Amino acid sequence: MSASNLPRAWLSRLPAAKWLAAYEARWLKDDVIAGVTLAAFAIPVSMAYASLAGQPPHHGIYCYLLGGLAYAAFGTSRQLVVGPTSAIAMLVGATVAGMAPDDPVRCAEIAALAALVAAVFGVLAWLLKLSALVSFISETILTGFKAGAALSIAMTQLPKLFGVPGGGEHFFGRAWTLAGQLGETNFVVLGFGLAALALLLAGDKFLPGRPMALVVVALATAVVSLTSLGDAGFATVGDLPAGFPDIRPPAVRLRDVDGIIPLSCACFLLAYIEGISAARTLAARHDAAIDPRQELLALGAANLAVAFGQGFPVAGGLSQSAVNDKAGARTPVALLAASITLSVCLLFLTGLLSNLPTVVLAAIVLVAVRGLIDIPALRRLRQISRQEFRVSLVALVSVLLLGILKGCFLPRSRRC
């Protein structure tokens, strides 16, 4: 093969080339509707997860914008959506904060570097054909880990719900600090947050697949902006910069940040396990097939794009993918439509969000992470094998005691 034909040969092997060649015009309407619906879901959720990761809210939108575009080119699932997820956001937030205390600019650069190193792991795993990484963490450990992560995430958000500063390290330290601050509860903020929680839960139950979070965000912003409640001590997201992110590499180098390799490795492993599980679920629903090895490259490409766009590590998540699927997505053109919609919002609508109360973002996170606690799975483990149940509990308690990062590297159960 001549050198001039090499780029064409590589492009022909991209998954995007295959599904575009078979694309039918009648699918476009469904994909566009799904993309707009996905963007409506992504805006409030990505801002909430960015806050959880200790990043500026708009950086979460950058993650969906750039990660989705890269996955559309390299991924093999037609409905999977790549963006911030709760567990990875918590992992980044809890770890990066200790690497650059009281320096939000450096924290953002370290988070982008973590995405870049995770991208390198993805490409290396693809080159070495390591798609068997999906079995690196057993379902037993993963069940306990997710439950522990959910409780840890919830504890970081409860101070915002009560309108107090919070503090402490890991679950029990945060719980102790919160208990000591309950006397300072801002009951207006608490009532507002509980109302947001009630609306979000009602939306999940009665309007599944609809962007209820966006409705709650719009209502909350309007109430705080137009009524006297804005003077009741609400913390808000503040002014968000309009426009696209600067496309550049992270401003910190690998040798400048201790602990970046374990953080990036944990993010990559969690992202691949979460993404491949969601992709397989969607593929089974549509009688389709995915390529586990190609998904490694797609994950690497998505994190590379995010790293150059001031984001933080991303993954394919089941909740956002379910929104995309239920909205009627036929192909990754839905991701392109979502990215275009997000671009319009970044250019023209960021000013509308400056009065969004952070307690609403906390409510969105609390509703999102409740699905990580799989009580039926824990009950089944207890019935099937007391030993496996204990392993799961060890994973759960270890995350609560040691934090999410150290909880990722527990001894493996015999089923790994």
Instruction: Give the per-residue pLDDT at 133.
Output: 65
Mean pLDDT lowest among 48-57, 86-95, 121-130, 403-412: 403-412
- Tell how far CA 188 is from the center of its chain: 29
Q: Count up the domains in the chain and report the number.
A: 1
Q: Spell out where 322-375 has E strands.
A: none
**Prediction pTM value:** 0.86
Using only the alpha carbons of the chain, give its radius of gyration: 21
**Residue 232 maps to a domain:** yes
Q: What is the pLDDT of residues 241-291, one digit of tens each?
A: 999 999 999 999 888 888 899 999 999 988 998 898 889 888 988 888 899
Residue carrying structure tokens 């995430």: 153
Q: Which of these ranges, 5-14, 25-34, 225-234, 314-323, has the smallest mean pLDDT?
A: 5-14
With tokens 């963006």, the residue in question is: 83
Give 229's pLDDT tier (boundaries 50, 70, 90).
confident
Contacts 24+ apart (CB under 8 A), 216-219: 216/44, 216/360, 216/363, 216/364, 217/43, 217/44, 217/353, 217/356, 217/360
**CA 135 → CA 93, 199, 303, distances in Å?**
26, 38, 21
Give the domain range for residue 401.
27-407
- pLDDT for 335: 96
* Amino acid of residue 104: P
The answer to the question of residue 89 being in a domain is yes
Q: How confident is the model at residue 406 (pLDDT cuts 50, 70, 90)?
A: low
The amino acid occupying position 158 is: L
Residue 51 is inside which H or E element, if any? helix 28-52
Residue 9 forms part of a structural domain: no
β-strands 315-316, 82-83: how paired? Answer: antiparallel
14 in a domain, yes or no?
A: no
Residue 358: inside a domain: yes
Residue 87 included in any domain: yes
How far is residue 101 from each of residues 93, 107, 171, measured CA to CA in Å?
11, 8, 19
**The two structure tokens encoding residue 57:** 């809210």
Percent of the chain with pLDDT over 70: 92
Q: How far apart are CA 42 and CA 36, in angstroms?
A: 10
Helix (H) or strand (E) holding 192: helix 187-206
Per-residue pLDDT, 333: 96
Handedness of CA 348, 52, 301, 70 (dihedral sign): negative
Burial 397-410 (b: 16+ CB within 10 A, else e): ebbbebbbbebbeb
327-353 pLDDT, tens digit per residue, is 889 999 999 999 999 999 999 988 888
Lowest mean pLDDT among 3-12, 293-302, 387-396: 3-12
**What digits encode the pLDDT tens for the residues 80-117?**
999 999 889 988 988 898 888 888 999 999 999 999 99
For residue 143, the model assigns a pLDDT of: 83
The confidence band for 360, taking pLDDT boundaries of 50, 70 and 90, is very high
Q: Does the pLDDT at position 121 exceed 80?
A: yes
Give me the pLDDT at residue 1, please.
47
Residue 8 has pLDDT above 60, yes or no: no
- Residue 377: which residues within 8 A CB-CB, separation 6 or more? 143
> Rounded CA gap, 174 and 156, in Å?
7
Contact 156, 174 (CB under 8 A): yes
pLDDT at 165 over 60: yes
In the structure, what pLDDT confidence band is assigned to residue 136 with cuts at 50, 70 and 90?
Answer: low
Q: How far is CA 58 from CA 285, 354, 365, in A?
A: 33, 11, 16
pLDDT of 373: 84
Q: What is residue 147's predicted lDDT score, i.e. its pLDDT?
A: 86
- Mean pLDDT of the chain, nearest integer: 88
Average pLDDT, integer, range 158-171: 90
61 in Cβ contact with 46 (< 8 Å): yes
CB half-sphere exposure, 5, CA atoms < 13 A: 3
Quick check: 10 pLDDT over 80?
no
So what's the pLDDT on residue 9?
Answer: 54
Give residue 296's pLDDT.
Answer: 95
Does residue 6 fall inside a structural domain?
no
Amino acid 6: pLDDT: 44
Does residue 155 belong to any structural domain of this protein? yes
Contact 250, 112 (CB under 8 A): yes
Q: Say what the pLDDT of residue 73 is.
A: 93
